[in-house]
Amino acid sequence: MSILATIAPIFIIIAFGFFLTHKRVLSERFISEANRFVFQFPLPFLIFIGIVKSGLKSTGCLPIAAVTVPSLVVMGIALVVAKIARYKGDKLGSFVQSTFHGNVTYVGFAVLFYMFGEEGLEKGSLLAGTLIIFNNALAIIILSLTSAGHRSPLKIAGSIIRTPIIMATFAAVIFVLLRLSMPSVLMKSLEIVANISLPLALIIIGGSISPAMLRKTFRPAIITTVLKMLILPGIAFLFYRMCSPDISRAVPAMVLLATPTAITTYIMARELGGDAELASGCITLSTFASPLVYWFWMTILI
């Protein structure tokens, strides 16, 4: 019950964001501008601080393999399921990317922080940066192979590498490897801005939920939600059981892999010629399922 009590407030805030948008207290323009602000400043600062404080001590080869290998496996399973279901073209690309592309930055970080505090962020920051790069690369590949009209994959890849979150990850790693130090005043200032990110991000998620799109795409959304939130972390769990006697080491990876489908799947579907409506439905259903899914996994792990 304590696990549910810890996780529930996160999703109550998401529901609050949906309520505020539904009642038009918050406009779509506000949600869009807030999303841009969080994405460009507070979240990159949060990742940078987490990696710098961890000193790269909390992440090794096993955690990185435990998030990348299962993602590849689930992508393969999704391709087989899509062929059986006869999904083609834009629908195929959006379906497959929704099975592995998780909301690591908004939901993953929130769960790590509100369940495990600063230690959770320190253990998960570098792993999250790795997973973000990996997820986006896979998404570009699958959408590029299945969509007709879209921007050049190389241009999209370049724009992703230049995103603030990815740049913050690389900057923090270099900062730690060179053993640089930052003035305490500047670090504290970054922390103040970083602390804005998680509460505002949860409001943004709630404001982005679209039940109307879910009704149109309910069947494929159910399949992607099962693959994304149960099969994907389940494979990672088995991976850890085989490779390490200490299953508690799996917690950061499991939290990040069990996240709902990322909001960026909708953006990338629009940019790369995928099915944006399907992506929106997958985001909505997986977000609705998140509280029970996290309760299930954390009960097993903790």
Residue with tokens 């508690």, as numbered in its chain: 248
Is 182 a residue whose pLDDT tops 80? yes
Residue with tokens 């609705």, as numbered in its chain: 288
| Between 57 and 48, residue with greater pLDDT | 48
State pLDDT tens for residues 271-282: 777 898 899 899
What pLDDT, on the 0 to 100 scale, is given for residue 166?
82
φ, ψ (nearest 5 deg) of residue 258 = -85, 5
State pLDDT tens for residues 11-42: 999 999 999 999 999 998 998 899 889 888 99
DSSP string, 18-35: HHHHHTTSS-HHHHHHHH
199 and 13 in contact (C-beta within 8 Å)?
yes
**Helix 164-177, helix 28-40: angle, nearest 10:** 20
What pLDDT, on the 0 to 100 scale, is given for residue 156?
64
115 and 298 in contact (C-beta within 8 Å)?
yes
How many angstroms separate the CA atoms of 216 and 117, rounded? 39
What pLDDT, on the 0 to 100 scale, is given for residue 21?
93
205 and 14 in contact (C-beta within 8 Å)?
yes
* Local confidence band at 209 (pLDDT 50, 70, 90 cut-offs): confident
Q: Choose the CATH number for 2-301 among 1.10.600.10, 1.20.1530.20, 2.170.190.11, 1.20.1250.20.
A: 1.20.1530.20
State pLDDT tens for residues 136-181: 888 888 887 787 655 566 666 676 677 788 888 889 889 988 988 8
How many angstroms separate the CA atoms of 213 and 265, rounded? 14
